[in-house]
Amino acid sequence: MKKKILVLAFAALSLTSCHRTNLEDLAAKSASDYTERYCPTPFVDSQRTDSVSFDRATHTFGYYYTISGKIDDPMVIAKGQKQIISSILNSLKENTSMKEFKQAAYNFHYVFRSQKTGNVVIDKTFTKKDYK
């Protein structure tokens, strides 16, 4: 009986770790494929996507953007930062294509750089507690 329980526990553990590895592979591939195919994107609404990455060690997707135009101003960013972060979070919550990653408690890191200065103007990571 103990042997049977041990075998079942090992099988369950193996399946779980197999799924996790496959999900990590999917995350890394999707980030890499998106970056290779589309990045950098053209500017739309004063923002472009420079790249998307995935860090296996922390289970974190990284989204890197450049901002330009009227919003590429420290005063504008400072004044609207809470609203910008709230908008990013709402988009993440509504993004059904990331459902499996969110269910696995992956993190999502967003970095926005100024086109004028190259400085990071927004750097925010969302975890499961933020998007659930």
pLDDT tens-digit map of 13-52: 444 445 556 999 999 999 999 999 999 999 999 999 999 9
Residue 8 pLDDT > 50: no
The predicted-structure confidence for 37-96, as pLDDT tens digits, reads as follows 999 999 999 999 999 999 999 999 999 999 999 999 999 999 999 999 999 999 999 999
CA angle 52, 73, 62 (to 5 degrees): 15
Residue 32, sorted as left (phi over 0), alpha (psi -120 to 50) or beta, turns out to be alpha
Residue appearing with tokens 């075998």 = 7
For the chain, the helix, strand and coil percentages under 3-state DSSP, each to the nearest 5: 55, 25, 20
Residue 9 has pLDDT above 50, yes or no: no
| Count of CB atoms situated within 10 Å of the CB of 78 | 10
Supply the pLDDT for residue 1. Answer: 41
Which pLDDT does position 2 carry in this prediction?
Answer: 37
Evaluate if residue 11 carries a pLDDT over 80: no
Neighbours of 52 (CB within 10 A): 18
